[in-house]
Amino acid sequence: MATTVIPAQPTSKPTNYLNDGFTLKSWLLTTDHKRIAMLYLVSVTLFFFLGGFFAMLIRLELLTPQGDLVSADTYNKIFTAHGMIMVFFFLIPVVPAILGNFLVPLMIGAKDLAFPRINLLSWYLYIIAGGIMIHVLLNGGVDTGWTLYSPFSTQFSNTNVIEAGIAIFIVGFSSIFTGLNFIVTVHRMRAPGLTWSRLPLFIWAQYATSLIMILGTPVIAITTVMLAVERLFHLGIFDPKLGGDPLLFQHLFWFYSHPAVYIMILPSMGVISELIACFSHKRIFGYKIVALSSIAIAVIGFLVWAHHMFVAGISLYAAMIFSFITFFVGVPSAIKVFNWTATLYRGAVSFATPMLYAFGFIGLFTIGGLTGLFLASLGIDVHVTDTYFVVSHFHYVMVGGVVMGYLGGMHFWWPKITGRMYPEGWAKLSALFVFVGFNLTFFPQFVLGYVGMPRRYWQYPPEFQVLNVLSTAGASVLAVGYLLPMIYFAWSLRYGPIAGPNPWGAAGLEWQTPSPPPTTNFDETPVVTWEAYNYDEIEPKHDFLEGTGER
Amino acid sequence: MSKFLPLWPDQASSIAGQVDALYIYLVLVSAVMTLLIFVAVAVLAIKYRRRPGIAPHPIEGSPILETAWSVIPFGVMITFFIWGAVIFFRERTPPTNATEVYVVAKQWMWKLEHMEGQREINELHVPVGQNVKLIMTSQDVIHSFFIPAFRLKQDVVPGRYSTLWFKATTPGTYHLFCAEYCGTSHSGMIGNVVVMEPQDYTQWMAGGPSAPLPEAGKQLFASLGCATCHRFDVQGRGPNLQGVFGKPVLLEDGRTVIADENYVRESILNPTAKIVSGFKPVMPTFQGLVSDEQLNALVAYVKSLAQPASGTLNQAAAAPAGQPQTKQVQ
């Protein structure tokens, strides 16, 4: 293996991106992709816990059939806030803006992204949009649901719809800029010898995600503008009383918001490919088809939006066509799951925490994906759409998939990001809490949906209570699972064992530079002469959990 | 259904059993798939766990295996698609002999009106074994008419009619929910569907005071002045509406549309949208002048004109519906 390019052990106290300036200015005006990733880490984490706080309020209200904790209007604002924050301020940016920002240049042997200042701009746009969102919440919130369906949002809601629309509009540009940056970077800044077929699968996934970001996000921006125009000037676009068509809104909204689901899940799938390869100590089974399946998901994902509208009033045959195409998306997702599983065969499988998250991802994403097939099947969708079955399905994909991938990735690259190992025992415990808590929260909701409880209900018939209590109990366990990493990651910053450049014995350029990486990533531009995941050239490690043993 | 921990909804419509059968099929297939993947991951991970001295074996992939696990699941998915589409087709093709009930949704209540004139709020009485078709619209935002025990749901959209049909099979009282978020009291927009034995239903029907819906429509037709242009004896300024409903109508721009509920509704609210061939766009809009309930009555009346009671209209019915008779003479 060509480790000779980079000196494995730095000779003196290194200058890395973390100790390269300590002033506030050196952080807030940085153009270093790694520092921007850290800015995102802090801000996205804050929004995650804000969204999680609203989730807990929802679960507490639903402990009893009567609406008793908060008023109906407040409840509607709470689930709207939960949805908007989690979708636009957590799930969409979480993996691309944190792990993607940090890793894309490192993985392709570049010094930074193609447009470092646009990268910083995209963080500022995120912060401005986040500020507006918080302003909305402090000023009484918004009660349209994150889906903003017209004519409720344009003519009937008396809350801050326009302001929330502005926040979504702006945060969309943050996402477009990130996507643009990644695409140009992957095209133009790969290290010599790093051909497309040698790219890590994480890069393929980020690339596919970026395509959706730049092609899909403008549509939601246009849609929010149209919504604002109708609301402010009563120009008939969506409201039939003004001559508009309410289904037009749904078409436009889902034309973005369905592909947005893949903006969320694809980057996590990329993370899982890295984890499975490293902890099986093997090249991913069928590298090419796994890489192409990401692109396939991105492309087919644009052709299935109306499956959210089977009972909304689209024609019988339109529904059938969209149902049929939806099953096609199942194929590339299934390929990934099977190929990950096959990678374990004749590998050297380690049970380190990141791998536990990868197993968790496979389990939860399998359930999330299969229940997606229930919803794609017209006869069943009519009954379960707009019930807790849908709520459970997309949480299995969004939380079971995206968040498991993100946490797995955070544990895996934490030593690279900070130079320190996290405490393995605590991490395993929290992974267990997340897995058990998640299933306890959301599995009962499948049953709840099939017996008929509609979503977005503040009060409900008493026979649904037991299942709701189980779900709330699970949410409490899940919350512990999410809080634990906050504590031990913070602890490890000071007390974690020193990790060294490559604690896992992992392939990939990011592991061939010191931890934390120097500001310019590599002292010399690496030259790649090997295929991706060349694990047969690396000795499997058995004691990586101890780091280098230094403190 | 256990009231403590319901694991399965009541089954009370002709379609419910079919939906449940497909659901059980999908649950079984999914359970097998999930178990297969879980066991494969567990067995492989444990069998090939990392041990000193045992090197992993590099494998590039296997096009045959990869093709197999793309094609076989897709084949299984096609069965999901076909079965689901067949059920959906049945759900969306109402039988012609269905009893009709008009539904008007508004924040936050359901108003239902039977053809016989009975009106109900948040409660729908239907006889067992009878095909019932709901013709639904909303006065404000989008709602969704959802009866879990029937496994049926349909969004109720302002500005148009959407329809839902069912045949109730088991007497009882079942939940009616609004399933599309509609504002403050969305979760309070609930009610009951009461399925009755035919004799109980007849008795319940007899208790109602009101006039039949088409009768109310006929009175409106006169009082709103519709009858001055839409005449039945000689050709007026508007098309003769007898025998029109359910038939194709030739439009001025050359298109042909079927005169269904949505067409009649649109012609009242936005008369210039579709001009019948041979006529001028002279009809004023009734947008804002008639309520959704009055619209329903008018539609029911126009519908009742589809079967001419007397023999005087047979020659008009022979021409394409809606075609002015003057043209026929030429």
Q: What does the DSSP 8-state code read for residue A10? A: -
Answer yes or no: is B122 within a domain: yes
Cβ contacts below 8 Å, chain A against chain B, sum to 286
Answer yes or no: is B138 within a domain: yes
Element (H, E) at A188: helix A161-188
SS3 helix, strand, coil % of chain A, rounded to 5? 70, 0, 30
Q: What is the mean pLDDT of chain A?
A: 94
Higher confidence at residue A214 or residue B245?
A: A214
By the 10 Å C-beta count (0-12 exposed, 13-18 middle, 19+ buried), B72 is classed as: exposed
Q: Which residues pair with B135 in a beta bridge?
A: B102, B163
Domain span holding position B228: 213-329
Q: Which residues pair with B143 in a beta bridge?
A: B156
> What's the Rg (C-alpha) of chain A?
23
| Per-residue pLDDT, B223 | 87
- How far apart, in whole angstroms, are the C-alpha atoms of residue A460 and residue A64? 8
| Per-residue pLDDT, B205 | 86
- How far apart, in whole angstroms, are the C-alpha atoms of residue A357 and residue A83? 24
| Per-residue pLDDT, B285 | 86
Element (H, E) at B280: none
Of A171, A182, A166, which Cα lies nearest the Cα of A115? A182
> What does the DSSP assignment read for A420-485?
BPPPHHHHHHHHHHHHHHHHHHHHHHHHHHHHTPBSS-SS--GGGHHHHHHHHHHHHHHHHHHHHH
Element (H, E) at B106: strand B99-106
Give the whole-number percent of chain A exceeding pLDDT 70: 96
- The pairing of strands B131-138 and B99-106 is parallel
Identify the closest residue of chain A to B55 by CA–CA distance.
Answer: A348
- How far apart, in whole angstroms, are the C-alpha atoms of residue A500 and residue A7? 12
Answer yes or no: is B10 within a domain: no
Mean pLDDT for the stretch of residues A311-331:
95
pLDDT in tens, A99-133: 999 999 999 999 999 999 999 999 999 999 999 99
- How far apart, in whole angstroms, are the C-alpha atoms of residue A542 and residue B322? 84
Amino acid at B123: E
Could A379 and B22 be called an inter-chain contact, meaning their C-beta atoms sit closer than 8 Å?
yes
| Per-residue pLDDT, B86 | 97
- How far apart, in whole angstroms, are the C-alpha atoms of residue A51 and residue A398? 14
Mean pLDDT for the stretch of residues B96-124:
93
Could A316 and B81 be called an inter-chain contact, meaning their C-beta atoms sit closer than 8 Å?
no
Q: Which residues pair with B250 in a beta bridge?
A: B256
Give the three-class secondary structure for B155.
strand
Provide the 10 A C-beta neighbour count for residue A108.
22
Find all residues with CB under 8 Å of A275, minimum gap 6, and list them. Answer: A354, A355, A357, A358, A408, A409, A412
Mean pLDDT for the stretch of residues A192-201:
96
What confidence tier does A82 reach under pLDDT thresholds 50, 70, 90?
A: very high
Structure tokens at A362: 């496979």
Answer yes or no: is B9 within a domain: no
HSE toward the beta carbon, residue A330, CA cutoff 13 A: 30
Q: What does the DSSP 8-state code read for residue A195? A: -
Q: Which residues of B touch A351 (CB under 8 A)?
A: 45, 49
Query: Which of B206, B227, B243 marks a domain boundary?
Result: B206
User: How close B302 gets to chain A, by Cα (Å)?
Assistant: 23
Q: Which residues of A touch B142 (CB under 8 A)?
A: 149, 151-152, 246, 312
**Same domain as B117, residue B30:** no
Q: Is the per-residue pLDDT at A7 higher than 80?
A: no
Q: Is the dihedral of CA A342, A281, A277, A368 positive or negative?
A: positive
- Per-residue burial over A123-153, b if 16 or more Cβ lie within 10 Å, else e, is bebbbbbbebbbebbeeebbbbbbbbbbbbb
Could A323 and B81 be called an inter-chain contact, meaning their C-beta atoms sit closer than 8 Å?
yes
Of B20, B25, B22, which Cα lies nearest the Cα of B8? B20
Q: Which residues of A touch B84 (CB under 8 A)?
A: 323, 376-381
Could A151 and B140 be called an inter-chain contact, meaning their C-beta atoms sit closer than 8 Å?
yes
Of A395, A402, A403, which Cα lies nearest the Cα of A440? A395
Contact between B237 and B229 (Cβ < 8 Å): yes
**Same domain as B144, residue B179:** yes
**Same domain as B113, residue B80:** no
- Tokens 């926040």 label which residue? A167
| Per-residue pLDDT, B326 | 39
| Per-residue pLDDT, B208 | 67
**Same domain as B183, residue B121:** yes
Q: What does the DSSP 8-state code read for residue A17? A: T
Q: Which residues of A touch B72 (CB under 8 A)?
A: none
Q: Is the per-residue pLDDT at A84 higher than 70?
A: yes
The CATH number that applies at residue B161 is 2.60.40.420
What confidence tier does B58 reach under pLDDT thresholds 50, 70, 90?
A: confident
- How far apart, in whole angstroms, are the C-alpha atoms of residue A256 and residue A220? 6
* CATH 1.20.210.10 fits domain A24-546: yes
Element (H, E) at B125: strand B123-127
By the 10 Å C-beta count (0-12 exposed, 13-18 middle, 19+ buried), B286 is classed as: middle
- Tokens 């000689």 label which residue? B234
Amino acid at A58: I
Q: Is the dihedral of CA B203, B206, B212, B216 positive or negative?
A: negative
Mean pLDDT for the stretch of residues A370-378:
97
Structure tokens at A507: 């392939």
Provide the 10 A C-beta neighbour count for residue A20.
17
Q: Is the per-residue pLDDT at B140 higher than 70?
A: yes
By the 10 Å C-beta count (0-12 exposed, 13-18 middle, 19+ buried), B186 is classed as: buried
User: How close A49 gets to chain B, by Cα (Å)?
Assistant: 25
pLDDT in tens, B147-159: 999 999 999 999 9
**Same domain as B84, residue B32:** yes
- How far apart, in whole angstroms, are the C-alpha atoms of residue A523 and residue A111? 9
Answer yes or no: is B3 within a domain: no
Mean pLDDT for the stretch of residues A531-551:
73
| Per-residue pLDDT, B312 | 39
Could B19 and A379 be called an inter-chain contact, meaning their C-beta atoms sit closer than 8 Å?
yes
Could A382 and B19 be called an inter-chain contact, meaning their C-beta atoms sit closer than 8 Å?
yes
| Longest Cα separation, chain B | 101
- How far apart, in whole angstroms, are the C-alpha atoms of residue B76 and residue A423? 44
Provide the 10 A C-beta neighbour count for residue B90.
15
Q: Is the per-residue pLDDT at B163 higher than 60?
A: yes
- How far apart, in whole angstroms, are the C-alpha atoms of residue B177 and residue A251? 24
- Tokens 């879990």 label which residue? B148
Give the whole-number percent of chain B exceeding pLDDT 70: 91
Q: What is the mean pLDDT of chain B?
A: 88
**Same domain as B110, residue B71:** no
- Name which of A494-503, B162-171, B305-314 the model is least confident about: B305-314
Q: Is the per-residue pLDDT at B68 higher than 80?
A: yes
Q: Is the per-residue pLDDT at A532 higher than 60?
A: yes
Could B185 and A72 be called an inter-chain contact, meaning their C-beta atoms sit closer than 8 Å?
yes
Number of structural domains in chain B: 3
In degrees, rounded to 5, the angle at the alpha carbon of residue B112 between the alpha carbons of residues B109 and B113 is: 150
**Same domain as B64, residue B160:** no
**Same domain as B318, residue B219:** yes
Could A282 and B178 be called an inter-chain contact, meaning their C-beta atoms sit closer than 8 Å?
no
> Which residue out of A61, A371, A378 would a mutagenesis test of the B interface target, given it has the greatest number of B Cβ atoms within 10 Å?
A378
Mean pLDDT for the stretch of residues A287-310:
95
Q: Is the per-residue pLDDT at B251 higher than 70?
A: yes
Answer yes or no: is B325 within a domain: yes
Q: Which residues of B touch A327 (CB under 8 A)?
A: 74, 77-78, 80-81
Query: Which of B173, B206, B239 marks a domain boundary?
Result: B206
Mean pLDDT for the stretch of residues A383-400:
96
Q: Is the per-residue pLDDT at A12 higher than 60?
A: no
Residue B260: alpha-carbon gap to chain centroid: 13
Q: Is the per-residue pLDDT at A519 higher than 90?
A: yes
- How far apart, in whole angstroms, are the C-alpha atoms of residue A157 and residue A124? 30
Mean pLDDT for the stretch of residues A184-207:
96
| Per-residue pLDDT, B207 | 75
The CATH number that applies at residue B260 is 1.10.760.10
- Per-residue burial over A367-405, b if 16 or more Cβ lie within 10 Å, else e, is bbbbbbbbbbbbbbbbbbbbbbbbbbbbbbbbbbbbbbb
- How far apart, in whole angstroms, are the C-alpha atoms of residue B93 and residue B253? 29
- How far apart, in whole angstroms, are the C-alpha atoms of residue A6 and residue B60? 28
- How far apart, in whole angstroms, are the C-alpha atoms of residue A490 and residue A413? 15
**Same domain as B117, residue B219:** no
Query: Which of B92, B116, B133 marks a domain boundary?
Result: B92
Structure tokens at A187: 């095209």
Nearest CB partner across the interface for B48, out of A330, A349, A447: A349
Structure tokens at A392: 């459970």
The CATH number that applies at residue B83 is 1.10.287
By the 10 Å C-beta count (0-12 exposed, 13-18 middle, 19+ buried), A10 is classed as: middle
Nearest CB partner across the interface for B179, out of A324, A362, A386: A386
What confidence tier does B311 reach under pLDDT thresholds 50, 70, 90?
A: very low
Q: Is the per-residue pLDDT at B1 higher than 60?
A: no
Give the three-class secondary structure for B7.
coil
Structure tokens at B253: 């721009």
Identify the closest residue of chain B to A150 by CA–CA distance.
Answer: B141
B250 backbone dihedrals φ, ψ, rounded to 5°? -85, 130
| Per-residue pLDDT, A405 | 97
| Per-residue pLDDT, B225 | 85
- How far apart, in whole angstroms, are the C-alpha atoms of residue B241 and residue B322? 7
| Per-residue pLDDT, A14 | 58
Answer yes or no: is B6 within a domain: no
Nearest CB partner across the interface for B177, out of A286, A452, A467: A452
> Which residue out of B74, B142, B262 would a mutagenesis test of the A interface target, given it has the greatest number of A Cβ atoms within 10 Å?
B142
Answer yes or no: is B8 within a domain: no
pLDDT in tens, A43-66: 999 999 999 999 999 999 999 999
- How far apart, in whole angstroms, are the C-alpha atoms of residue A253 and residue A34? 33
Q: Is the per-residue pLDDT at B211 higher than 90?
A: no
What confidence tier does A264 reach under pLDDT thresholds 50, 70, 90?
A: very high
What confidence tier does B269 reach under pLDDT thresholds 50, 70, 90?
A: confident
Nearest CB partner across the interface for A451, out of B9, B37, B41: B9
Mean pLDDT for the stretch of residues A503-532:
93
